[in-house]
A and B are shown apart, each in its own frame.
Chain A
Amino acid sequence: MSDYIVLIRRKLSPEAAVGIMRDLREALKIHEAPLVFFHGDGAETTSDRASGWEEADPGVDWCVCRTSVERRAASDLLPSSFRVATLATFYQAVLSARRVDSLGLGGTLSCGSGSGDRPGEEPKHLLLEVGFAPTGLQQRRETLEMALAAAALELDASVLFHGDGLAHLAGDSARGWAQITDFGLLGMYAESPGRPSGSEIAAQTVDAARAADLRARAATILIL
């Protein structure tokens, strides 16, 4: 079982990929079978021959989101040491991890994890942070799918939009987020002094202090 998870949701340069492989080799000294999960734009990185993934350490579980890779027609280009997996695989691993790093479109974060999913332990609260403006429908959809997968698994999770990420809640293509509030699937918050501009989505608006409180209460934060 992996106790260290890395989520990669942005396209990496070959230099960054080499750095990650080096860091993972180091992590193997103290972590059991780290799992790296490529999702969304991150999946594009896996078919980049210049990144040298063929040299990736086989002690690491290299996973690529099945849907992300199918959308990019890159299934045949995966390095031999990589496997396709679903978001259910990713979230199950997150629940039992001690450390979760995210390299998202909205930034990078490494967080130690609190209590876990083992018997007798309190369920983890998971906070998904969205702080980037989507550049297209695919980025919008894949960010929403991260949240819907958490909802499908009935995880104790919330989504926090802030800064440029508030753009996800504006416009007609934002309507997919409404199902989260309409059916009470997850907590949904917008760090904003008022209703996010152009938004018809019923996210709960919170101030900076409340947003900081949400972060402090989360056992795990994923930067999407």
Chain B
Amino acid sequence: MALAGKEIALGPDGHLLDPDDWSEPIAEEMARLDGLELCDLRWWLIRFVRAHYGQYGMPPLMRVAVKAMRGDGGLEDASSRTLYRLFPDGPIREACRYGGLPRPESCI
């Protein structure tokens, strides 16, 4: 499909087939099509998940993201509910999708 002026291949679960296709405008466009605005906090989570994936080869556990949001994210009272308010359909999975990463496959 065409996203941000580029032809992009998506898998059946809506994740980019080629992570190298990813860019911030493409993430914005994917979110717009979903009726979602990528506010600063959503962007913080997407970037955190991408950085974690780059370092460890997999997305973070929810508790790791919550802890980081309380620290680097500057939201002292962050909880898993905070993350679910950002992405109700699964915060880490959705952050992976908008972040151009594969769908997390673990049942953790």
Contacts and interface: CB of A to CB of B under 8 A. Distances in A.
Q: Are A and B co-members of a single complex? A: yes
Interface of A: 65-67, 70-71, 86-88, 145, 148-149, 151-152, 154, 173, 175-176, 178-179, 183, 185
Interface in B57-81: 57-58, 60-64, 67
Given A148-B61, A152-B63, A154-B63, A179 B108 contact: no
Given A67-B107, A87-B108, A145-B106, A152 B61 contact: yes
A86 B106 CA distance: 9
B56 A175 contact: yes
Interface of B: 52, 55-58, 60-64, 67, 105-108
Contact of B64 (A71, A175, A176, A179): A179
A179 to B, nearest CB: 5
A31 B102 CA distance: 42
Main secondary structure of the interface of A (DSSP, over half): helix
B69 to A, nearest CB: 13
Contact of B105 (A71, A148, A151, A183): A71
A42 to B, nearest CB: 14
A183 B107 contact: no
Given A67-B106, A145-B108, 6 more contacts: A67-B105, A86-B107, A149-B107, A151-B63, A152-B61, A176-B58
A87 B55 CA distance: 24
A65 B108 CA distance: 10
A178 B56 contact: yes
A145 B105 CA distance: 11
Contact of A175 (B55, B62, B63): B55
Contacts of A179: 52, 55-56, 58, 60-61, 64
A183 B72 CA distance: 13
Find the residue from A70, A148, A178 having the highest chain B CB count within 10 A: A148
A152 B108 contact: yes
B50 to A, nearest CB: 15
